[in-house]
Structure 1
Amino acid sequence: MADSKMAVTQWSPEFVKELLPAAEKTALLYHLSYLCLANFPNLERIIRSRAVETQLLFGSSDATMLKCILTSQNLVESLFPMLVKAVEKNKAILAVKFLEKARVWIQDIITDVEKIVEKYDLHNKDVASSTSDVVKEKDDTDKKITVQDQELKLTESALNTLKSLHQKTIEELAETEKKINSKSQEIQEFARSITKTSRGLGIFAVLVPFIGLIVKSIYDAVHDPENIARMKALEAELNILISDKTALSQKEWNIQVDIIDGQMKAAKASFDRNSIPNPIHLKEVQSSLSKIQAVLIQLKYFWLSVSEMLDYLEKKTFVGEDLIEDLADLKDEFLESIEIAKQAWSSFGEGCKKASVIFRLQTKDSYKFLEVSPSSLSKVEWEKEYESVKKRLEKIDRPKSVPSCVTPAISQ
């Protein structure tokens, strides 16, 4: 197993934490866009159309998550028990047959995720086109307006300052992420170097594609003080980087909230002047949709990685010589790996269930505001609803920083 060049995937079963705020934010930003374009019927129609398309897209996303749930269940309830029986009976050919079946399941998911990612891409382009439509109509209207009030100018100036700070923070986040990836790779390479002396650990690494568990297994199985000290040092360095990322993520989120608040003030000022506001909320919708799309892209690569690992297990272990020659010696390690794999995949399945619920709720309840035209609201009703949506937007929980590859340092 030591010759494998395959890296353990940097995917967390808690990926759902990234989905919830983005999905909630999308609906609220559509709502704000809808309110801000009151009294402009053509633009109201555009927003309504795009919001309905987003609902349908979330419905398709829910269906994809359901397939992930079912596949995770199949791995836990079908594949792993069959592999156990095959190993216990020393039937490598039967194990290969089971692995081939699992790879078919996974390839089906990969195809579905690719399709849904393409849909997000097309939909985001449609939202961008709608933004351009709003901009054009705004330009035509603003030709009639020659005087800009001072409050709006000050707000826009403050916004520009915040945007510059936001961009700088994003760049710092990207640099920290690079360092995390580099340190993760260093840990993975060190872990692989240790598994060269333990084929049982190598099998474990293939069946359990979560490096936190790999690290723990190394602590449990390796007793060389030098190796343990080195792993602890690497883990500590990575945890510092993850802590830095968490702080930067919180800072980026706080600035983003301030920017949205400033944008809403500018939008309200424009509304009070009977001018079409800038479609800033639609641009934020694009950003939120892109975040959801990014999670789904990660999901695709996760399943690709799992497919490669199953292929490796089949070709190098059951078809090759690794397990056939010394099956009796490795049987206990293999069966133990299966048990831990079942727990890890069950956790992943639970994450998919939560994601499914998120998409389903967004599809069902979050777009009821489309049933009432904002132009039918009185000024008092408009302001009351606007403030309500604004408060809900501000209360959205910032996604906690989820370590992309390892668990917190494990005390020994």
Structure 2
Amino acid sequence: MGKDQPLWAGAVVASSTSWSPAFIQELLPAAKKTSLLYHQSYLCLAKFPELERLIRSRAVETQLLFASSEAVLLKCVCTSDNLVQSLFPILKVAVQKDKSDIAVKYLDKARKWIKEIIDDVDELVKKYDEHNKAVAKTTSDIDTKKTETDQKIKNQTKEMNDLEAHLKKCQDDLTLNANRQCSVQNEYDNTNSNLESVVRSAASRNKGLAFLMSVVPFFGAIIGAIRERKAYEKDMAKIRVLENDLNRLSSEKSTLKQEAWRIQANMADIQMKLAMAKVELGTVPSTDHLEDVKCCLSRIQEILVQLQKFWKKVDVILKYLQEKTFVAEDLIDVLPEFKTEFLHSITVAEQVWKVFGQNCHKVNGIFSVQSKDAYKFLESSPSALSKEEWQIQYTAVKKRMEQIYSSQSAIEESSAITQ
């Protein structure tokens, strides 16, 4: 590979799923909703001690799994901090003093940190998969019991029929919304892929930009660096067009997600009203809340898989940097001319990784709360609650769920701007 195309220019970069260091924060609403959904299921089964015990068992398992998730996220925080506090300063020293052997040594150490995270996340994803199957089995058991008891009560009130009809309409609206979101997401991904191609092409023509790509796996920082260079006006013209398209699609995605959150909030209220009516009739309520628990657990599992892929790509980047840049002396060959650009790239990398570490720390804190305090409702049996006590807990859960929906809607509303 010649001087016009430096060896690190082909380094693998993160996909659109990790466009921003904040992608890990998508774990927050799923983690928060899970305990509330369990609490709702727990309250709805107040007259069925056998099913109540099943819910308690699954909820305790989830609580333990969240504790494991907390530990993995803490390791992400520590590793990000180590990259900022140790690796990047060492790389600066290597560039300044032409000490490629030091860089190779510390890159190898960083890759060992990352390998531990990849292995831990892999094990955690398997545990989520097994746990979700257990929740599915519990859902099936409750559905069987529900079928048996529903045979005993055939006459439903007009209110229940109206609620179920309303719930069916919400479900249809949510399905339509999901289909529209999928269509917009596909268009977004295609546009994003085109933007990545333009950015890669532009960065490959400049050694400093190419080096920046090798230490920063987020495209936003690369675009910012290109924007600062006057020689890339034609590239920036293409980038601006694609960014405008992405902003439009992001806005459309945000609108659809806000609509989905509103529908889900309405459905949650209807489901609780139906549950209350069926408890009064002596029937087993539906397993809608447990189905939502499964969705939340699946979403957490999906994001953990993204996290694992992200760290694998970072490992590939560091390995490439270690083997092709410092070991092959490619950096040293061009160092006198581009030392300032390389040092600037490392500084940008430090800033970006610091933000990623802060986001991991925020999510880690939520999992800490969820694994310790959010499941205290399991300490008492809903069967032992008076009607007034049951209503107090139901109202409290409903209020907290509405807060999650409203806060998430607000986040979606501003996402296009922040992105």
Which TM-score applies when normalising by structure 1?
Answer: 0.94
Q: In the alignment, is the contact (CA less than 8 A) between 2:76 and 2:117 conserved in 1?
A: yes
Q: How does 1:218-367 map to 2 (within 5 A)?
A: 218-320=226-328, 322-367=330-375
User: How is 1:363-382 mapped onto 2 (pairs within 5 angstroms)?
Assistant: 363-382=371-390
Q: Which runs of 5+ in 2 are unaligned?
A: 1-5
Q: Do residues 150 (structure 1) and 158 (structure 2) align?
A: yes
Q: Secondary structure at the match of 1:326?
A: helix
Q: Spell out, residue by residue over 1:278-331, the C-alpha distance to the aligned partner (whole angstroms, 9 max, x if none).
A: 111111111111122222111111101111111221233223353132121122
Q: From 145, 148, 152, give the equivalent of 1:140.
A: 148
How far does residue 3 in structure 1 lie from its aligned partner after superposition? Answer: 5.1
Residues 405/295 of structure 1: CA separation in 2 closer, same or farther (3 Å cut): farther
CA distance in 2, matches of 1:309, 1:403: 32
CA distance in 2, matches of 1:236, 1:149: 53
Q: For 1:28, which of 10, 33, 36 is the aligned residue?
A: 36
Note the C-alpha offset of 1:217: 0.3
Residues 403, 79 of structure 1: alpha-carbon distance in 2 compared, 3 angstrom cutoff: farther
- Which letter maps to 1:293? Q
State the number of aligned residues: 408
Mapping 1:153-168, distance limit 5 Å: 153-168=161-176
What's the CA shift for 1:143? 2.0
Q: Amino acid of the residue matched to residue 398 of structure 1? A: Q
C-alpha distance in structure 2 between counterparts of 1:378 and 1:283, whole Å = 27
* Equivalent residues of 2:203, 2:209 under 8 A apart: yes
Question: Equivalents in 1 of 2:52, 2:46: separation in Å?
Answer: 7
Q: Deviations over 1:151-198 (max 9, x none)?
A: 222211221121111111111111211122111111111111112321
Q: 1:200 aligns with which of 171, 195, 208?
A: 208
2:12 equivalent to 1:6: yes
Contact kept? 2:11, 2:317, Cα under 8 Å: no
**Farther off after superposition, 77-86 or 109-118:** 77-86
Aligned partner letter, 2:199? A
Kept after mapping to 2: 8 A contact 1:204/1:334: yes
Distance 1:403 1:149, change over 3 A: closer
**Paired residues of 1:212 and 1:405 also in contact (CA < 8 A):** no
Which residue in 2 is equivalent to 1:398? 408
Read off the aligned partner of 2:62 and give its amino acid letter: T
Would the alpha carbon gap of residues 406 and 216 (structure 1) be closer, same or farther in structure 2, given more than 3 Å must change?
farther
Alignment-mate amino acid for residue 288 of structure 1:
C
Deviation at 1:238, TM superposition (A): 1.1
2-side partners of 1:43 and 1:184: how far apart?
47
Closer/same/farther in 2, CA of residues 191 and 135 from structure 1, 3 Å limit: same
Which of structure 1's runs of 4+ aligned residues deviate more than 4 A? 402-408
Greater share of helix: 2
Question: Which amino acid counterpart does residue 91 of structure 1 have in structure 2?
Answer: K
Distance apart, 1:16 and its partner CA: 4.6
- Deviations for 1:209-256, whole angstroms, at most 9, x for unmatched residues? 111111110011243432222221111111111111111111111111
Change in CA separation of 1:227 and 1:406 when aligned onto 2, cut-off 3 Å: farther
Is contact 2:202–2:232 with CA below 8 Å preserved after alignment?
A: no
In the superposition, the TM-score normalised over structure 2's length comes to 0.93
Selected match of 1:178 from 162, 174, 186: 186
**TM-superposed deviation, 1:84:** 1.3
Equivalent residue of 1:277, what SS? coil
Contact 1:22/1:291 (8 A) holds in 2: yes
Could you tell me which amino acid in structure 2 is paired with residue 192 of structure 1?
R
Q: What RMSD, in angstroms, separates the aligned Cα atoms of the two structures? A: 1.9
Q: Is the 8 A contact 1:212 1:407 kept in 2?
A: no
Distance in 1 separating the partners of 2:181 and 2:217: 26
